[in-house]
Amino acid sequence: AQSVTQLGSHVSVSEGALVLLRCNYSSSVPPYLFWYVQYPNQGLQLLLKYTSAATLVKGINGFEAEFKKSETSFHLTKPSAHMSDAAEYFCAVSDLLLGNTPLVFGKGTRLSVIA
Amino acid sequence: DAGVIQSPRHEVTEMGQEVTLRCKPISGHNSLFWYRQTMMRGLELLIYFNNNVPIDDSGMPEDRFSAKMPNASFSTLKIQPSEPRDSAVYFCASSLILGELFFGEGSRLTVL
Protein backbone atom coordinates (compact mmCIF):
# COMPACT_ATOMS: atom_id res chain seq x y z
CA ALA A 1 0.00 0.00 0.00
CA GLN A 2 1.20 3.47 -0.76
CA SER A 3 1.81 5.98 2.01
CA VAL A 4 3.67 9.18 2.84
CA THR A 5 5.44 10.20 6.01
CA GLN A 6 5.99 13.83 6.85
CA LEU A 7 8.86 14.37 9.24
CA GLY A 8 8.03 17.00 11.81
CA SER A 9 4.51 18.04 12.68
CA HIS A 10 5.64 21.61 13.25
CA VAL A 11 8.43 23.62 11.63
CA SER A 12 9.30 27.17 12.62
CA VAL A 13 11.49 29.47 10.51
CA SER A 14 12.41 33.13 10.53
CA GLU A 15 11.12 35.40 7.82
CA GLY A 16 13.61 35.30 4.91
CA ALA A 17 15.05 31.94 5.92
CA LEU A 18 14.99 28.72 3.93
CA VAL A 19 11.88 26.58 4.23
CA LEU A 20 12.39 22.80 4.13
CA LEU A 21 9.45 20.45 4.73
CA ARG A 22 10.23 16.77 4.52
CA CYS A 23 8.19 14.01 2.91
CA ASN A 24 9.11 10.39 2.31
CA TYR A 25 6.91 8.05 0.34
CA SER A 26 6.30 4.35 0.12
CA SER A 27 4.94 2.90 -3.09
CA SER A 28 5.35 -0.37 -4.91
CA VAL A 29 5.16 1.34 -8.30
CA PRO A 30 6.33 4.73 -9.54
CA PRO A 31 4.30 7.24 -7.59
CA TYR A 32 2.64 10.47 -8.44
CA LEU A 33 3.39 12.93 -5.63
CA PHE A 34 1.73 16.15 -4.56
CA TRP A 35 2.07 18.97 -2.06
CA TYR A 36 -1.03 20.76 -0.83
CA VAL A 37 -1.31 23.81 1.45
CA GLN A 38 -4.10 24.62 3.90
CA TYR A 39 -4.52 28.14 5.26
CA PRO A 40 -6.56 28.59 8.46
CA ASN A 41 -10.25 27.85 8.08
CA GLN A 42 -9.87 26.94 4.43
CA GLY A 43 -9.72 23.81 2.32
CA LEU A 44 -6.53 22.43 0.81
CA GLN A 45 -5.01 23.92 -2.34
CA LEU A 46 -2.62 22.22 -4.74
CA LEU A 47 0.92 23.65 -4.54
CA LEU A 48 2.70 21.39 -7.00
CA LYS A 49 2.77 17.87 -8.40
CA TYR A 50 5.27 15.32 -9.69
CA THR A 51 4.06 13.01 -12.43
CA SER A 52 7.30 11.38 -13.67
CA ALA A 53 8.45 14.23 -15.89
CA ALA A 54 11.14 16.55 -14.49
CA THR A 55 12.36 15.57 -11.03
CA LEU A 56 12.49 19.20 -9.89
CA VAL A 57 8.99 20.57 -9.80
CA LYS A 58 8.11 24.23 -9.41
CA GLY A 59 4.85 25.29 -7.84
CA ILE A 60 3.00 28.38 -6.83
CA ASN A 61 4.24 31.03 -4.38
CA GLY A 62 7.91 30.24 -5.03
CA PHE A 63 7.81 26.67 -3.70
CA GLU A 64 9.52 23.75 -5.37
CA ALA A 65 10.09 20.08 -4.64
CA GLU A 66 12.57 17.52 -5.85
CA PHE A 67 11.75 13.87 -6.45
CA LYS A 68 14.60 11.61 -5.33
CA LYS A 69 13.91 7.99 -6.08
CA SER A 70 17.04 6.73 -4.30
CA GLU A 71 15.91 8.42 -1.10
CA THR A 72 12.16 7.89 -1.67
CA SER A 73 11.76 11.56 -0.84
CA PHE A 74 9.83 14.54 -2.15
CA HIS A 75 10.87 17.43 0.10
CA LEU A 76 9.31 20.87 -0.31
CA THR A 77 11.53 23.96 -0.26
CA LYS A 78 11.34 27.70 -0.60
CA PRO A 79 14.48 29.87 -0.55
CA SER A 80 13.02 32.70 1.51
CA ALA A 81 10.06 32.39 3.85
CA HIS A 82 7.38 35.03 3.93
CA MET A 83 4.87 35.64 6.70
CA SER A 84 2.08 34.64 4.33
CA ASP A 85 3.59 31.13 4.02
CA ALA A 86 2.39 30.27 7.52
CA ALA A 87 -0.01 27.38 6.96
CA GLU A 88 -0.29 23.60 7.13
CA TYR A 89 1.36 21.64 4.34
CA PHE A 90 0.37 18.15 3.25
CA CYS A 91 2.30 15.70 1.13
CA ALA A 92 0.20 13.18 -0.81
CA VAL A 93 0.76 10.16 -3.04
CA SER A 94 -1.33 8.53 -5.72
CA ASP A 95 -0.69 5.33 -7.57
CA LEU A 96 -2.31 6.31 -10.83
CA LEU A 97 -0.89 3.33 -12.69
CA LEU A 98 -3.38 1.20 -10.79
CA GLY A 99 -6.24 3.26 -12.06
CA ASN A 100 -8.32 5.97 -10.57
CA THR A 101 -7.28 5.80 -6.93
CA PRO A 102 -7.61 8.78 -4.63
CA LEU A 103 -4.80 10.58 -2.88
CA VAL A 104 -3.33 9.35 0.37
CA PHE A 105 -2.32 12.33 2.51
CA GLY A 106 0.36 12.62 5.15
CA LYS A 107 -0.38 13.94 8.64
CA GLY A 108 0.67 17.44 7.70
CA THR A 109 3.38 19.87 8.82
CA ARG A 110 2.45 23.19 10.34
CA LEU A 111 4.79 25.95 9.22
CA SER A 112 5.22 28.99 11.44
CA VAL A 113 7.10 32.05 10.18
CA ILE A 114 8.64 34.34 12.77
CA ALA A 115 9.15 38.02 12.04
CA ASP B 1 -15.70 30.25 -11.83
CA ALA B 2 -17.18 29.20 -8.53
CA GLY B 3 -15.19 26.67 -6.58
CA VAL B 4 -16.52 23.72 -4.63
CA ILE B 5 -19.38 24.91 -2.49
CA GLN B 6 -20.19 23.27 0.82
CA SER B 7 -23.01 23.91 3.24
CA PRO B 8 -23.45 24.48 6.04
CA ARG B 9 -20.10 26.00 7.02
CA HIS B 10 -20.83 25.36 10.67
CA GLU B 11 -23.23 22.95 12.30
CA VAL B 12 -23.82 22.42 16.00
CA THR B 13 -26.17 19.64 16.91
CA GLU B 14 -27.00 17.33 19.76
CA MET B 15 -26.10 13.69 19.95
CA GLY B 16 -28.65 11.52 18.20
CA GLN B 17 -29.71 14.11 15.67
CA GLU B 18 -29.43 13.65 11.92
CA VAL B 19 -26.83 15.75 10.12
CA THR B 20 -26.76 16.37 6.37
CA LEU B 21 -23.78 18.02 4.72
CA ARG B 22 -24.04 19.22 1.15
CA CYS B 23 -21.58 19.72 -1.66
CA LYS B 24 -21.72 21.26 -5.11
CA PRO B 25 -18.63 20.28 -7.11
CA ILE B 26 -17.01 22.34 -9.83
CA SER B 27 -18.94 22.05 -13.07
CA GLY B 28 -17.36 19.53 -15.43
CA HIS B 29 -15.43 17.65 -12.76
CA ASN B 30 -16.12 13.93 -12.81
CA SER B 31 -14.73 12.81 -9.44
CA LEU B 32 -15.94 13.80 -6.00
CA PHE B 33 -14.37 13.02 -2.64
CA TRP B 34 -15.51 13.36 0.95
CA TYR B 35 -12.75 13.76 3.55
CA ARG B 36 -12.87 14.20 7.32
CA GLN B 37 -10.21 16.15 9.21
CA THR B 38 -9.50 15.92 12.93
CA MET B 39 -6.50 16.77 15.04
CA MET B 40 -6.05 13.18 16.11
CA ARG B 41 -6.51 11.36 12.82
CA GLY B 42 -5.59 14.00 10.25
CA LEU B 43 -7.23 13.90 6.84
CA GLU B 44 -9.23 10.73 6.18
CA LEU B 45 -10.92 9.75 2.93
CA LEU B 46 -14.49 8.68 3.62
CA ILE B 47 -15.84 7.93 0.15
CA TYR B 48 -15.34 8.93 -3.46
CA PHE B 49 -17.42 8.93 -6.61
CA ASN B 50 -16.51 8.75 -10.28
CA ASN B 51 -19.19 9.91 -12.69
CA ASN B 52 -21.71 9.92 -9.82
CA VAL B 53 -21.01 6.27 -8.96
CA PRO B 54 -19.60 5.39 -5.53
CA ILE B 55 -16.27 3.66 -6.05
CA ASP B 56 -14.89 3.10 -2.58
CA ASP B 57 -16.69 3.71 0.70
CA SER B 58 -14.33 1.69 2.86
CA GLY B 59 -13.42 4.83 4.76
CA MET B 60 -16.94 5.43 6.01
CA PRO B 61 -16.67 4.82 9.75
CA GLU B 62 -19.86 2.83 10.22
CA ASP B 63 -23.41 2.39 9.07
CA ARG B 64 -24.40 5.70 10.60
CA PHE B 65 -22.67 7.39 7.68
CA SER B 66 -24.08 7.45 4.16
CA ALA B 67 -23.30 9.45 1.03
CA LYS B 68 -25.16 10.01 -2.19
CA MET B 69 -24.51 11.72 -5.48
CA PRO B 70 -27.82 11.87 -7.34
CA ASN B 71 -26.36 13.94 -10.18
CA ALA B 72 -23.12 15.52 -11.33
CA SER B 73 -23.74 18.77 -9.48
CA PHE B 74 -24.74 17.64 -6.00
CA SER B 75 -23.67 15.29 -3.24
CA THR B 76 -24.68 14.75 0.36
CA LEU B 77 -23.04 13.17 3.38
CA LYS B 78 -25.49 12.11 6.07
CA ILE B 79 -24.83 11.05 9.64
CA GLN B 80 -27.70 9.44 11.49
CA PRO B 81 -27.63 9.31 14.44
CA SER B 82 -24.76 11.67 15.17
CA GLU B 83 -22.34 11.14 18.06
CA PRO B 84 -19.81 13.46 19.75
CA ARG B 85 -16.91 11.54 18.15
CA ASP B 86 -18.22 12.62 14.74
CA SER B 87 -17.16 16.20 15.51
CA ALA B 88 -14.71 17.20 12.79
CA VAL B 89 -14.32 19.31 9.68
CA TYR B 90 -15.77 17.57 6.65
CA PHE B 91 -14.35 18.49 3.27
CA CYS B 92 -15.72 17.86 -0.15
CA ALA B 93 -13.34 17.96 -3.11
CA SER B 94 -13.82 17.53 -6.82
CA SER B 95 -11.42 16.66 -9.57
CA LEU B 96 -11.12 16.32 -13.33
CA ILE B 97 -7.41 15.58 -13.59
CA LEU B 98 -6.29 12.68 -11.40
CA GLY B 99 -4.59 13.93 -8.26
CA GLU B 100 -5.57 17.56 -8.74
CA LEU B 101 -8.25 18.06 -6.13
CA PHE B 102 -10.19 21.26 -5.55
CA PHE B 103 -11.43 21.47 -1.99
CA GLY B 104 -14.38 23.31 -0.54
CA GLU B 105 -13.98 25.41 2.58
CA GLY B 106 -15.32 22.60 4.73
CA SER B 107 -18.22 22.04 7.08
CA ARG B 108 -17.28 22.21 10.75
CA LEU B 109 -19.50 19.82 12.70
CA THR B 110 -19.83 19.90 16.47
CA VAL B 111 -21.94 17.21 18.12
CA LEU B 112 -22.74 17.92 21.75
- Tell me, what's the pLDDT at B19? 98
Among the partner-chain residues A103, A104, A107, the one whose CB lies closest to the CB of B101 is A103
Burial label, A1 (beta-carbon count in 10 A; 0-12, 13-18, 19+): exposed
pLDDT tens digits along A6-39: 999 999 999 999 999 999 999 877 788 999 999 9
Average pLDDT over every residue of B35-54: 93
Query: Can you tell me the mean pLDDT for B82-90?
Result: 97
Asked if A103 reaches chain B (Cβ–Cβ under 8 Å), the answer is yes
Q: Is the pLDDT of residue B1 over 80?
A: no
Q: What is residue A29's predicted lDDT score, i.e. its pLDDT? A: 75
Q: What are A54-110's pLDDT values in tens digits?
A: 889 999 999 999 999 999 999 999 999 999 999 999 999 987 655 556 888 999 999
Q: Mean pLDDT for chain A?
A: 91
Nearest residue to B88 via CA among B41, B20, B23: B41
CB-CB: which of A36, A90, A102 is closest to B48?
A102
> What confidence tier does B71 reach under pLDDT thresholds 50, 70, 90?
very high
A-chain CB neighbours of B48 within 8 Å are 102
The residue-averaged pLDDT of B48-57 equals 92
Long-range own/partner contacts, residues A37-41 (CB < 8 A, 24 or more apart)? A37/A87, A37/A88, A37/A89, A37/A90, A38/A87, A38/A88, A38/A89, A38/A90, A38/A108, A39/A87, A40/A87, A41/B105, A41/B106
Q: How confident is the model at residue A51 (pLDDT cuts 50, 70, 90)?
A: confident
Interchain contact A51–B (C-beta under 8 A): yes
Out of A41, A49, A105, closest to residue B43 by CB? A105
* pLDDT > 60? residue B105: yes
What is the share, in percent, of chain B residues with pLDDT greater than 90? 84
| CA proximity to B37, closest of B88, B86, B112 | B88
Residues 52-91 of A with CB under 8 A from B: 90
CA distance B49 to B68: 9
